[in-house]
Amino acid sequence: MLTRIYADNYRCMVNFECALGAKQLILGPNGAGKSTLFDVVALLRDFCVRGEPPDREPPAARFVGRTRTRWQDIPEQAFELDVSGNGGTYRLRLVMDAWGYPEKPRVMQEEVTFSGKPISVSRKGRCISSTIATRIRFNTRSTGIGRPLQRSPNVPTTRNSPG
């Protein structure tokens, strides 16, 4: 069950945190951010689960660029999702920024924990610690979550090989 959503520097959300229960009613006036809350969940689902690129068009880039909060001059966007299950809580933390010209979004930090214990931590495309890998480099324009290593059929997967 989704129990918490956090977003910083995304549209109207600045250091925004929403704790969710089994049943949740979301009310507010027009322009308060109700749709943006659902957009955050869809954005993370599309990026982390479906593998969609972070700068997918149209109508606009989904990370950084025009989705940053207008009144802040911070290059990074941060997102967190907490999901309870298997006797604990999973947490995804994703930090994005922009680089290059024209600006393109990139993953600065990606962490997955279970009840506070790290499952996978990567920063700037390098896996810092993981239960499944120690020396894997990630493309900073995609997520490292749920991506099996490419291998030939009938060849054992070795995740601790230098790379």
In a domain, 163, yes or no: no
Residue span of the structural domain in which 108 resides? 2-130
For residues 115 and 82, give the distance between their C-alpha atoms in angstroms, rounded to a whole number. Answer: 10
Among 52-61, 72-81, 111-120, 125-134, the least confident range: 125-134
Q: What strands lie across the sheet with 117-123, from one edge to the other? A: 16-19, 2-8, 77-85, 88-99, 104-114, 117-123, 126-130
Give the pLDDT of residue 139. 62
In a domain, 139, yes or no: no
In a domain, 14, yes or no: yes
In a domain, 97, yes or no: yes
In a domain, 121, yes or no: yes
Q: How many of the other CB atoms lie within 10 Å of CB of 8?
A: 18
Does 36 have pLDDT greater than 60?
yes
CA neighbor of 91 nearest in space, from 106, 78, 74, 108? 78
In a domain, 145, yes or no: no
Higher pLDDT, 118 or 126: 118
In a domain, 95, yes or no: yes
In a domain, 146, yes or no: no
Q: What CATH number is given to the structural domain containing 79?
A: 3.40.50.300
Look at the chain and report how many structural domains it folds into.
1
